[in-house]
Structure 1
Amino acid sequence: MDQNLENLKFPIGKFQEPEIITTEHLKNWIEVIKHFPERLKSATADLNEEQLQKQYRPNGWTIKQVVHHCADSHMNSLIRFKLTLTEDTPTIKPYLENLWAELSDAKDYPIESSLKIIEGLHEKWVVLLTHLSGQELEREFIHPENKERISLKKNIGIYAWHCQHHLAHILIARQS
């Protein structure tokens, strides 16, 4: 992939896990997750249907697909957190996000339902995240695609990055 397309695919870069995840990292990441719904709503508030069909890169998703993807992805993440908190190192179920983005609810349906899902889900998610103990933050799940063990504290960082990553996609698409 050429550098320009790579920059469009990862406009804020790839997630970089700190060597040591501090309470300050966690606090900042949870704030990003907390404010994502309002930032997403603001980034899409004045867009018409034609604008929602803009892509952030050639052969990339439309703004509409990105919004619906965030609802799908963040629902899956909340479930993964709960499984990890209630089971012993569960192996999570991955999903084929590219195929989900091609379903009618992601391509053809207005974004308002996903914005509502994200708003309620993030409110609930932030309550859970802010009440995790140090021991709970260390709990891990296994991602079956690469057998990686991912701690909840790392996953908070991944999803803060995910929020910022897709907001950047929307802002790029808006400018195209």
Structure 2
Amino acid sequence: MSDLADILERFRRGGELLAMSTTGAAGSELDFKPGPDKWSVRQIVCHLSDSEAVAVMRIRQIAAEDNPTLQAFNGELWADHLDYQRRKISQALETFRKLRTENHELLKALPEESFSRTGNHTEAGRLTLLDLVKGNAEHVEEHVQQIQRTRAAYREYRSKQAAQAPAQP
């Protein structure tokens, strides 16, 4: 498989990885934060959903426009002002899945030379479409690992709580 095919497959697989990483998570586990400046599983999923919405525009800008400006966004501000902590995780997962599928279908249909087209990201600088797609694939993979760590921290927290609970007569 070529590098492009490998990257497109990693990109496509992001929806599956995200869904698998959240399988069985419910209730307080979704909202548990492993530290004061850490995100909950719910917040991570909402962030990825919104990031994929941004990717919809960026992919199309690079594919269709000459060297477009790709505006950065502040994920922390979005999490606060878009109230990630109260959003429905099922809707965020479904939105991510639909957008990722649509993006993947578009990317598969583009000629290979489209992946060398560039845009200027306001923080990261000059990016090719291939760089953008690879970065989006890695972004999901990194957050899936974060979800796994958060869920492990939650299980440890619950285990410690159970160990400290008084014995029932």
Report the TM-score when normalising by structure 2.
Answer: 0.83
Of 139, 144, 147, 1:167 maps to 144
Highest Rg: 1 or 2?
2
Inter-partner Cα distance in structure 1 for 2:34 and 2:41 = 8
Of 33, 49, 57, 2:27 maps to 49
Inter-partner Cα distance in structure 2 for 1:54 and 1:37 = 22
Inter-partner Cα distance in structure 1 for 2:20 and 2:138 = 18
The correspondence of residues 1-176 of structure 1 with structure 2, limited to 5 A, is: 24-55=2-33, 58-145=36-123, 148-176=125-153
Inter-partner Cα distance in structure 1 for 2:123 and 2:141 = 24
1:101 alignment partner, SS class: helix
Conserved? CA contact 2:56–2:103, under 8 Å: yes
Q: Which amino acid aligns with 1:95?
A: F
Number of aligned residue pairs: give it.
Answer: 153
RMSD, matched Cα: 1.6
**Higher helix fraction (1 or 2):** 2
Conserved? CA contact 2:11–2:134, under 8 Å: no
Alignment deviations for residues 25-72 of structure 1 (CA, whole Å, 9 cap, x no partner): 222222122122222122212112210122355511111110000011
Q: Identical aligned pairs, as a percentage?
A: 25
Distance verdict in 2 for CA 1:125–1:56, change over 3 Å: farther
Alignment deviations for residues 109-161 of structure 1 (CA, whole Å, 9 cap, x no partner): 22111111111111111111112223211111101235x11000111111111
1:145 alignment partner, SS class: coil
Conserved? CA contact 1:33–1:126, under 8 Å: yes
Q: Give the Å deviation of 1:104.
A: 4.6
Inter-partner Cα distance in structure 2 for 1:51 and 1:104 = 21
Q: Which runs of 4+ in 1 moved over 6 A?
A: none
Distance verdict in 2 for CA 1:136–1:105, change over 3 Å: same
Inter-partner Cα distance in structure 1 for 2:32 and 2:7 = 28
> Higher relative contact order at CA 8 Å, sep ≥6: structure 1 or structure 2?
1
Report the TM-score when normalising by structure 1.
Answer: 0.80
